[in-house]
Amino acid sequence: MLATIAEDGDAVVILDQTKLPQETAFVRLTDLAGAAHAIRSMQVRGAPLIGATAAYGVALGLREGKPFDEILATLAATRPTAVNLHWALERMKAALAEGRDAWQEARAIAREDAEANAAIGRYGLAILEEIARRKGRIEVMTHCNAGWLATVAHGTALAPIYAAHETGIAVHVWVSETRPRNQGRLTAWELAQSRVPHTFIADNAAGLLMMQGRVDVVIVGADRIAANGDTANKVGTYLKALAAHAHGVPFYVAAPVSTIDFACPDGTRIPIEERAAEEFGELHTPVANPAFDVTPAALISGIITEHGVVPADQLGRVKP
């Protein structure tokens, strides 16, 4: 498994995810501008990995001698929806106020993300084991990419799938393309590396597959979870949740507690990033390109966190 982010001397090296799956390339980040560009351009993506990259961005900016407020403002402006970004910046701010070293704190954030995701895999595995006892082979559907590429290690939504595969459970994954940036291709590439059986589908095929009884469970990641359990994830997630609800398919969100924004009361307060029209290619017509949508808590069977599976409307149980 490749490293999505790692220190290299006085720099930070990231896996350039804009080049995948056609090419495996790495980018060396040496300053604040490089870290901000990596987040904004989606060379790194996935809320947990964005948070870790932002933490290292603070360390790089301080080494350059940049004013701290400028560092925070630059990084905070890159991606508005992913709360791990802002969580990491607040944690770095608190650490520095207490006299802790920026590089040590960034390392701790990265290490803790890997540990949290491994725990998510273990708790999610219990859900898949129960399905396997009843049905044998498990049919899982996911959306976007919430595997190890989106984190420091292990992944969130894919962590239980990898855990099941490693224990010998027969699991097959339906991978939706996730237009317009086609992050589903990254999921398919990841699963192929680990030899996990999977099938790539058009986004609009998801409802049909659920109606036909070909999906046992849906597991997705999250970019921000409001205090009431409403969850922002890649646009198209809400439609899958609606289809799952209509056909009695359990719908889970897998995310570390750092993705829960306890200061955000509900999904109406989550800012939705609007990305450039150019992501659709060359079009000569007005374009709306929201990067995320919000799935109401009532459609979510549970949130799989590093502390266990929690009902979406009872997140106070894992509040730090």
What DSSP state is assigned to residue 29?
Answer: E
Note the pLDDT of residue 282.
83
Note the pLDDT of residue 196.
98
pTM value is 0.95
CA distance 219 to 200: 16
In contact, 166 and 155? CB cutoff 8 Å = no
Instruction: Map out the domains of the chain with their CATH numbers.
Output: 5-111 (1.20.120.420), 121-318 (3.40.50.10470)
In contact, 22 and 58? CB cutoff 8 Å = no
Which residues are known to be catalytic?
223
Note the pLDDT of residue 1.
72
Note the pLDDT of residue 283.
86
Note the pLDDT of residue 3.
96
Tell me the pLDDT of the chain (320 aa) as tens digits.
Answer: 789 999 999 999 999 999 999 999 999 999 999 999 999 999 999 999 999 999 999 999 999 999 999 999 999 999 999 899 999 999 999 999 999 999 999 999 999 999 999 999 999 999 999 999 999 999 999 999 999 999 999 999 999 999 999 999 999 999 999 999 999 999 999 999 999 999 999 999 999 999 999 999 999 999 999 999 999 999 999 999 999 999 999 999 999 999 999 999 999 999 999 999 999 988 899 999 999 999 999 999 999 999 999 999 999 999 99
Helix axes 83-97, 102-135, angle to 10 degrees: 140
CA distance 7 to 64: 16
